[in-house]
Amino acid sequence: MTVLYICVRYIGILNSMVNMLDLLNSTTDVVGFILHIMWAWIPVIVNAMLGVIMMIRIHAMYQLSKKMLIFLIVVLLACTITSGIIMVMALIGVSAEEYILDGQRMCLSDPDQDKIYLFYESMISTAIWEILASVLALWIVIKHFRELRNSATGSIIGDCYTVLTKSHAFYFGAFTFVACFNLGSLSPYVIYSSTLGSFVHGVVYHIALMLQMFVLGPRLILSLREYHAKLVARSDGGTGMTSIHFQAGGDESAGGEV
């Protein structure tokens, strides 16, 4: 989890640099082509990493069920591979050309117009994974809250489920917002338009995408760490749990970090 957190954070920094260089528009055709490839692949890679984080959380919530883990791995792999294949198809035929306008060097990418929709359609399989993950998380949360209502450990485990639910709800809400704007980009009135409304749509979409991937995404890990730190601070002996594995109506057990 720590490795995933660091990777997502540093990819976020790299993505900011790519966007800054893209705004400057003063790169050569080769550099511009590389930046375009990076711009296209960063969301696919980061969403795959966030999918792994979500898979680990759900696996813990389902009492480390092996069947659930296998199911989650198969679905996540299928969705990620699908997104990757669509992105590869979208990048076939993409070129970058260098222009000089008013004495200023500019590099503009020229994607295949017949495949430009694929850049946005690559998120559809990711949306399927996120919806499935949210449904599974919501179902197990409701199930456990009912079972732990009269349990002696219900207070601690219930609090942890609350933390999981809040962080997941904020993240899924942001992803839903991004997915809606992504689908809106498929409209010919947006994708081929140069109006102010189309520009605002693009700006809002990219800002929301950055927040979803590089702010709320890492919060999926930080929220659990903050909750764990509070448990350690409140414990009498000063020894806390490195993770919480949820047992319906049972005790908590320690294990690897969630």
**Over the stretch 122-165, which tens digit does the pLDDT of each residue have?**
889 999 999 999 999 888 888 877 776 766 555 555 567 777 78
pLDDT band at 2 (very low <50, low <70, confident <90, very high): confident
**Residue-averaged pLDDT of the chain:** 76
Write out pLDDT tens, residues 58-113: 988 888 889 999 999 999 999 999 999 999 988 886 665 555 555 555 555 555 56
- Per-residue confidence (pLDDT) for residue 116, from 0 to 100: 73
Lowest mean pLDDT among 29-43, 142-156, 183-197, 239-253: 239-253
Yes or no: say if 234 and 14 are a contact pair by the CB < 8 Å rule.
no
- Per-residue confidence (pLDDT) for residue 51, from 0 to 100: 93
- Per-residue confidence (pLDDT) for residue 17, from 0 to 100: 82
pTM, entire model: 0.78
Handedness of CA 53, 57, 58, 59 (dihedral sign): positive
pLDDT band at 197 (very low <50, low <70, confident <90, very high): confident
